């Protein structure tokens, strides 16, 4: 079974350190690296049909923009270093979605930064890293 690493990125400094850590590990071990950005989104919203249609358009725009501005440059950089890399962007709860993507791609390790882009939110609701460590069935590496 080949080694597959997954790294969650959110443009924070800590996320960038996790990305660099994951890139180094993937390069050294010749592992595949899945770079994942999760756009926080809740399906629990009550909208009119028109609002739902507009929301769908916004979601599609967010996905395209995140690919262009976040994931594609990271994946291109990895490929230049000879790392087999793929980029994935999803909407959802960050920890749950990272866990689902890890299962989908058969990841052997999830790598994530300790502190993401929203400190206040994590203090109120619990951090993504903490939740992921609790729900994951595979090892989770938390980079400070």
Instruction: Name the phi and psi angles at 123, rounded to 5.
Output: -70, -35
H-helix or E-strand containing 34? strand 32-40
Identify the three-state secondary structure at position 66: helix
* pLDDT tens digits for range 37-59: 998 876 655 566 676 667 778 88
Q: How does pLDDT run across 56-103, given as a tens digit for each residue?
A: 788 888 889 998 999 999 999 999 999 999 999 998 889 999 999 999
Domains of the chain in start order, with CATH, are 4-143 (3.40.50.620)
> For position 29, what pLDDT does the model report?
95
- Alpha helices by DSSP H, the chain: 13-29, 49-66, 72-80, 94-105, 119-125, 128-135
The C-alpha atoms of residue 72 and residue 144 are separated, in whole angstroms, by: 24
Is residue 15 within 8 Å of 110, Cβ to Cβ? no
């Amino acid at each position: 079974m080949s080694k597959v690493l997954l790294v969650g990125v959110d443009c924070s400094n800590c996320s960038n350190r996790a990305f660099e850590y994951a890139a180094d590990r993937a390069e050294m071990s010749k592992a595949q690296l899945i770079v994942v950005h999760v756009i926080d989104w809740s399906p629990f919203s009550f909208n009119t049909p028109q609002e739902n249609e507009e929301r769908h358009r916004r979601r599609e725009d967010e996905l395209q923009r995140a690919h262009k501005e976040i994931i594609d440059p990271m994946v291109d950089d990895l490929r230049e270093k000879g790392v087999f890399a793929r980029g994935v962007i999803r909407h959802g709860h960050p920890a749950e979605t990272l866990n689902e993507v890890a299962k989908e791609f058969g990841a052997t390790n999830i790598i994530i930064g300790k502190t993401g882009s929203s400190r206040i939110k994590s203090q109120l609701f619990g951090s993504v890293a903490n939740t992921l460590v609790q729900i994951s069935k595979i090892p989770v590496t938390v980079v400070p």
